[in-house]
Amino acid sequence: MSLKCGIVGLPNVGKSTLFNALTQSGIEAANYPFCTIEPNVGIVEVPDPRMAELAKIVNPQKMQPAIVEFVDIAGLVAGASKGEGLGNQFLANIRETDAIVNVVRCFDDDNIVHVSGKVDPIADIETIGTELALADLASVEKAIVREEKRARSGDKDAQKLVDLCKNCCRIWTKANPCVPSVWTRKNARC
């Protein structure tokens, strides 16, 4: 079993440093934005002492521990959803992950450059969240256009998907996350 986890955040907040700590890698972690251009990948086995006990019972030919694949993704900047910075590449790399770890800078150090010129963790979290939501919204809007063509030909499943996607867009445009808690049974069906 494997989990692919993307490490994201603004440029120069410590993503590569965290990646190195988790994976025991030695990739460059420098004091300038966009030190990472191409994603770095590291695989970590998840130790589980229960495996040895289970092996005594089951006697498998081979034991394979769970692994987490960490991906150190280039820094995101405001406007990434419109292609700013390495935005398109950043968002494409995130789409390939199962989970996201958002690294946020919460310390002052005049020797470490902050991309916006000041340390504001709340604003940084909002920037990342906004860019991810805008990218999701753009993907859903493309799906609506694609599925509306199928729906016009009488495809009922496509029409259900169009309705679901439009409902999702309505929720997002009200600045709400599109999470299960905002859905009713009726509008969550596809």
Q: Using CA atoms, how far apart are residues 112 and 106, in angstroms rounded to an integer?
A: 12
Residue 10 confidence (pLDDT) above 80 = yes
DSSP secondary structure string for all residues of 103-137: -------TTS--TTSS--HHHHHHHHHHHHHHHHH
The predicted pLDDT at position 7 comes to 92
Q: How sure is the predictor about 190, in pLDDT bands with cuts at 50, 70 and 90? A: very low
CB 190 within 8 A of CB 164: yes
DSSP 72-110: EPPPP-TTGGGT-TTHHHHHHHHHT-SEEEE-------T
Q: How far apart are CA 52 and CA 48, in angstroms?
A: 8
Non-local CB neighbours of 65 within 8 Å, separated by 6+ positions: 45, 46, 47, 48, 51
Most confident of 93-107, 108-122, 156-170: 93-107
Any idea which of 11-20, 43-52, 92-101, 181-190 has the lowest mean pLDDT?
181-190
**pTM, rounded to two decimals:** 0.72
Q: What is the DSSP string of 36-79?
A: --SPEEEEEE---THHHHHHHHH--S-----EEEEEEPPPP-TT
Q: How many CA atoms lie within 13 A of 69 on its CB side?
A: 11
Q: Which two tokens stand for residue 95?
A: 């789409």
Structural domains in the chain, sorted by start: 1-119 (3.40.50.300), 120-189 (1.10.150.300)
What percent of the chain has a predicted confidence (pLDDT) above 70? 79
Q: Is the pLDDT score of 157 beyond 70?
A: yes
At 129-146, the pLDDT tens digits run 888 877 788 888 888 888
Name which of 91-100, 148-157, 176-185 the model is least confident about: 176-185
- Of 97, 94, 116, 95, which Cα lies nearest the Cα of 105? 116
Res 130: pLDDT: 80
